[in-house]
Chain A
């Protein structure tokens, strides 16, 4: 049984289509990264899972339950860190966690232990209205952990966290996965996803454009690399020669540097082409494709397919 299963989910708000025929499957026990730029429909997808909004068409199942008809059963077993939330300003951190415990029939957590785990036990008896953004994020993560949920749904969990906080967040996500929970989290920050996810789905303008493991996604893009070459003088001839080399997809010039996107296997050819064009290579560095480039590749690819269709 998949932890999350969306079939043909479409959501329109008036004339605006937020989600278009989304199919998605998240397996039990995996960390699934839900990636896409702001406005792609990530939060709307999560809103459908939690029955905050009702889909125009399609079905959503979470942990085997219908996300609309059996939403309370779903939320009994799910821990949620939403986006764009606000804490209850006048309630303390402890009261927030206690409210989550009171709300879940099988939860018997100790509020202080929960707050210790997310690193804000010191502020347990202060009003949450005085918390920083990052502390609010930790507090609500703590509420999500109450009752050992089978599935954690985290919407942009690192919002407002400093690098240290983001690292602690990733540690908790891994601990929860090792406990047996499934983790579904959305992000537009690629490093976050890359650092912790087993699989990724890429959402763009309300459509899932790719879904696979990170390694497989890299594979699919075909071992792309970025080559940064420093030469003595950049002439037009050098740029043209590189551009004409087979396997090169993009060349840009930054002062004395050429930044070349190409297949991993043609790096030698690129360097040769530069020397043949009369320039001297002083230094060069290569990087494998970042998720950023992966992401651009997939979203542009989808554009091409759309244009062809």
Chain B
């Protein structure tokens, strides 16, 4: 109840700031634009089903770039910003646990990102049915849900850092570091690790652990889990290790949803405001 009161207030704040509307317009243009452009090239020569699945794959890849940066931007000030301005004294002068504040913020800010994702992707779905002629609707809805969980994972990182530090600039720097590591540097990092682990050369057959390491970030988890919905995508890997199955992507995503915000809360729980 307390968590929800904070989530509601935070969502209203986001809605009032026009962030919500701006992001909704952005996602409608983004997903709708991709769908429109995609349908103008008849890549699958009349195979409507393959064509629709291909569209989801493209939206997934593009969303994997767009969603993290937006989640981090919407979330990094969530707690540290209230500490800087002093509005936290209003919030915690009311009968809320600090836990309610952290998780209420997580929910409220995730909604600010989730509503644009859902609206934008639903517009894309309608366009796809009109322009391509078909869409695996249930799979698409699950895909939208998965994308929201992906946004939640990055929001967990943003809110986690924002709770662990008293300054928004530090929270921003930490969020940026995570973005660079997982969006830009991760595959390089893992390859370098493999290179040294293998005695300064790359093996002919990459070991299972390398693939696991490669997908341990939130992006990896999201990409792998999408494979559950899209058969034969490029994330599919012919390995039998249990941790390289597609369902394990959900475990990785769950880790990123729970752990960063959890650690941030543990730090925030006892700090002097």
Report yes or no: A53 in contact with B272, Cβ–Cβ below 8 A. yes
Surface stretch bound by B, among A75-83, A185-193, A292-300? A75-83
Name the interface residues of B57-116: CB closer than 8 Å to any CB of A. Answer: 85-87, 89-90, 92-97
Surface stretch bound by A, among B7-15, B183-191, B251-259? B7-15
Report yes or no: B90 in contact with A87, Cβ–Cβ below 8 A. yes
Name the interface residues of A143-167: CB closer than 8 Å to any CB of B. Answer: 143-144
Report yes or no: B13 in contact with A52, Cβ–Cβ below 8 A. no
Given A90-B17, A102-B5, also A85-B87 (CB < 8 A): yes
Report yes or no: A13 in contact with B272, Cβ–Cβ below 8 A. yes
Q: Which residue of A is nearest B272, CB measured?
A: A53
Report yes or no: A53 in contact with B273, Cβ–Cβ below 8 A. yes
Asked if B214 CB lies within 8 Å of chain A CBs, one says no
Q: Which residue of B is nearest A52, CB measured?
A: B273
Report yes or no: A103 in contact with B87, Cβ–Cβ below 8 A. no
Which of A87, A91, A127 has most B Cβ within 10 Å? A91
Other-chain contact of B96, A78, A87, A103, A144 (Cβ < 8 Å): A103
Report yes or no: B16 in contact with A91, Cβ–Cβ below 8 A. yes
CA distance A105 to B95 in the complex (A): 9
CA distance A103 to B17 in the complex (A): 22
Other-chain contact of A90, B5, B16, B85, B89 (Cβ < 8 Å): B16
Report yes or no: B12 in contact with A91, Cβ–Cβ below 8 A. yes
Asked if A104 CB lies within 8 Å of chain B CBs, one says yes
* B119 to A: closest C-beta gap in Å: 21
Q: Which residues of B contact A140 (CB under 8 A)?
A: 90
Asked if B138 CB lies within 8 Å of chain A CBs, one says no
CA distance A309 to B97 in the complex (A): 44
| Tally of contact residues, B, Cβ under 8 A | 23
Asked if A86 CB lies within 8 Å of chain B CBs, one says yes
Q: Which residues of B contact A274 (CB under 8 A)?
A: none
When each residue 60-95 of chain A gets 1 if its CB lies under 8 Å from chain B and 0 otherwise, what string results?
Answer: 000000000000110110101010111110110001
CA distance A80 to B96 in the complex (A): 13
Given A52-B92, A102-B5, A103-B5, also A95-B12 (CB < 8 A): yes
Asked if B45 CB lies within 8 Å of chain A CBs, one says no
Q: Which residues of A contact B97 (CB under 8 A)?
A: 72
* B96 to A: closest C-beta gap in Å: 6
Other-chain contact of A85, B8, B17, B89 (Cβ < 8 Å): B89
CA distance A30 to B97 in the complex (A): 29
Asked if A212 CB lies within 8 Å of chain B CBs, one says no
Asked if A284 CB lies within 8 Å of chain B CBs, one says no
CA distance A85 to B86 in the complex (A): 4
* B231 to A: closest C-beta gap in Å: 45
Asked if B1 CB lies within 8 Å of chain A CBs, one says yes
CA distance A86 to B1 in the complex (A): 24
Asked if B167 CB lies within 8 Å of chain A CBs, one says no
CA distance A90 to B16 in the complex (A): 6
Given A86-B87, A99-B5, also A104-B272 (CB < 8 A): no
CA distance A164 to B89 in the complex (A): 26
CA distance A127 to B16 in the complex (A): 9
Q: Which residue of B is nearest A95, CB measured?
A: B12
Other-chain contact of A91, B5, B9, B92, B270 (Cβ < 8 Å): B9
CA distance A51 to B93 in the complex (A): 9
Asked if B2 CB lies within 8 Å of chain A CBs, one says yes
CA distance A95 to B6 in the complex (A): 12
When each residue 27-55 of chain A gets 1 if its CB lies under 8 Å from chain B and 0 otherwise, what string results?
Answer: 00000000000000000000100111110
Report yes or no: B90 in contact with A76, Cβ–Cβ below 8 A. no
Report yes or no: B94 in contact with A91, Cβ–Cβ below 8 A. no
Report yes or no: A88 in contact with B87, Cβ–Cβ below 8 A. yes
Q: Which residues of B contact A73 (CB under 8 A)?
A: 95
Q: Which residues of B contact A84 (CB under 8 A)?
A: 86, 89
Report yes or no: B94 in contact with A104, Cβ–Cβ below 8 A. yes
CA distance A51 to B96 in the complex (A): 11
* B260 to A: closest C-beta gap in Å: 24
Report yes or no: A99 in contact with B95, Cβ–Cβ below 8 A. no
CA distance A52 to B270 in the complex (A): 9
* B262 to A: closest C-beta gap in Å: 20
Report yes or no: B96 in contact with A47, Cβ–Cβ below 8 A. no
Q: Which residue of B is nearest A129, CB measured?
A: B16
List residues of chain B with CB under 8 Å of any chain A CB: 1-2, 5, 8-9, 12-13, 16-17, 85-87, 89-90, 92-97, 270, 272-273
Q: 22 A-B pairs, CB-CB below 8 angstroms?
A: A50-B92, A51-B92, A72-B97, A76-B95, A78-B93, A80-B89, A80-B93, A82-B89, A85-B86, A86-B85, A88-B13, A88-B87, A90-B16, A91-B9, A91-B16, A95-B9, A95-B12, A99-B9, A102-B8, A102-B9, A103-B2, A143-B90
